[in-house]
A and B are shown apart, each in its own frame.
Chain A
Amino acid sequence: MTTYRLIQNFRRSQGLLWAGPDLNADVLERTLLKLGVSLRRVESVSASDLDPDRDIVFVDADQQINPAPLLLPGANLTAAPVIGIVGIEAPSRLKLLAEAGATAILRKPIQAATVYSALFLGVNNHRRLKSAETRLAIGDRKRRGRRFLIKAVVTLVQARGLSDDDAYAELRRESMRRRLDLEEFCESLFQPESNFPGAWPAGLALSVSHDRGGSAHAKDAEVERRDGGDDVEYGGSGRRTNQDRRA
């Protein structure tokens, strides 16, 4: 599941103020203290050091900063929520905050009555984006794995004479039993070590990882090949199924 829950109590969070020394942070610090949030000034930020469940970065947009360190390599989303502090409402400053992934802003001079709102929106918008990014990644992975699912269905239809619905149902049941995504499971069926559909379905000679975060290539998978099993080749181009041979 990739649902996210709203955070409304920020106690024990840590604010990191990435700002020049001339920014007066008294109001921000006092108000955060009431909300159970500590604040410390930092001169730089590194995404790898940020804890998304604890840290909240306050970025002063009026200083010249490079927002890149807020992003993990290859990620589009900042490693922790970023709240922009806006003094000069000029496009160049706002662009910096957009690039820094700010999900809320505080206007200078900072007013106590706006801090909880900024914290609430900043943290929860970041969580919403993170949830959306996770869903997108899952969707991409499923889309990439879809061709393996189609291949597996076709293979079972051809090798076992099942209807496509029954073939799909069997694949789905087996993937659930192994606690794997359907597409991930089907991709594992077409790895060189696999004996699909020879050993299908009972005692399927596959031992793929049960770790949902594991690679779809199932590099740790062990393949038990049945002696005397169907002599089936499958996988990429040039391989043949029983159906091919029957044809």
Chain B
Amino acid sequence: MAKLRVPLGILISSDGPYTVVSRSMLCGALLGIAEGLAEHGDLELDPIIANPRGELARYSTMASEMLSSGIKHVIGCYTSSSRKEIIPLFEKADALLWYPSHYEGFESSSNVVYTGAVANQHLLPLVGYLLDCVGPKAFCVGSNYIWAWENNRILREAIGANGGAVVAERYFTVGCTEFGQVIETILAARPSFVFNTLIGESSYQFLRDLRAACRSRGIDQAREIPVASCTLSEPELEAIGPEAVDGHITSSVYFSSLDTPENDRFVKAYRARFPDGPVVSADAEATYLAARLFARAVREAGTDEASAVKVAVARRSIMAPQGEVRIDPETMHASLTPRIARSNLDGSFTILREATRPAAADPYLIRNSSRFGVVAIRPVLRVAS
């Protein structure tokens, strides 16, 4: 029987403002492809790797080139802005984008397979934990784009509906590392926690500066003003550095410290293949998952036609490092297992709370929000700089 040969585009920014996460995603993709090929001997994948360096225009150009060369499947994108930039190209070409990162939801393109978590799988469980165990007063700091805007809206509504409040929202350009003023404002406001939607180097610098400012005032930041997010992952803990790495609360569907046979095997295989790092992350696992799902689906479909692959990918679940995962044929989003964890000095996470079973994705929050938007109660301070 002839081998099924399928080209696969990989569109991941190995350079740019969010390199640390992206590189772990690339490693996850390469491991997933290698294992997919090992599992399906009659399948041959030709990965074509492109590096948009975090520039939106390059995402568009490179995706166009891939699609016009006949590639029908691309694993890639980290930010929502890059994903939204190229989705029309995939819809026009009837190709499939395998999007392997958590995002804010409110999207369900029939030309995208979403293997990352949406708000009901990361943010809403985090709000529940913060209200139960930390406190009701939030201060939001984020990068000035859709991820932060929409997550802050959801947080504001969810927390407001449960008696909490957002005291301020501050937004910064992607890549910004000047946080002295906002940190002074945070220390004056003394929120129960900071909700952090900064990405990349901005996030790491903010965490370092906040910790240093608290330390100079004798404040135990991790205990008194913890920082919570839905993004922080293991390779980023390394990037933050030992001075400010511990005590951050993260909501995710995957942590490398998960104690399951599948994860143990995955982490060992990843470390063996990429001994120089970056270390395993939730985004690496989601990208690995996308590659494994793609390989299995295209093999079972016997073709790379998008419609056939979509049917195949939703046919049965897969045992991923995080647990059982299934793609919903209606929304093309993955059911994933929500978890809350706290970062440790050694760059790992300790899991604090875990769902007992995978949660189906609810990208439009139709099962997880009220009919009406909360009449909020916008924070007094809401600044974009």
Contact = CB atoms under 8 A, between A and B. Distances in A.
Interface of A: 3, 5-11, 30-31, 33-36, 111-113, 116
8 contacts: A5-B372, A6-B373, A8-B369, A9-B370, A11-B367, A11-B371, A111-B91, A113-B109
Q: Which 4 A-B pairs have the closest CB atoms?
A: A36-B366, A6-B373, A11-B366, A5-B372
Contact of A31 (B87, B106, B108): B108
B108 A34 contact: yes
Nearest to A4: B372
B283 to A, nearest CB: 24
Contacts of B330: 33-34
A31 B110 CA distance: 9
Contacts of B91: 111, 113
A30 B331 CA distance: 10
Given A7-B373, A112-B110, A113-B107, A35 B366 contact: yes
B369 A9 contact: yes
Given A111-B91, A112-B110, A8 B331 contact: no
A33 B108 CA distance: 11
Nearest to B106: A116
A48 B367 CA distance: 30
Contacts of B108: 31, 34, 112
B87 A113 contact: yes
B364 A35 contact: yes
Given A9-B371, A10-B366, A34-B108, 14 more contacts: A7-B372, A7-B373, A8-B373, A9-B369, A10-B371, A11-B366, A11-B367, A11-B371, A31-B108, A33-B330, A34-B331, A34-B363, A34-B364, A36-B367
A112 B330 CA distance: 13
B365 interface: yes
B133 interface: no
Contacts of B364: 9, 34-36, 116
Interface in B326-385: 330-331, 363-367, 369-373, 375
Interface string B161-175: 000000000000000
Given A33-B330, A112-B109, A6 B372 contact: yes
A6 B366 CA distance: 15
A34 B109 CA distance: 11
A8 B106 CA distance: 11
A62 B143 CA distance: 44
Contacts of A31: 108
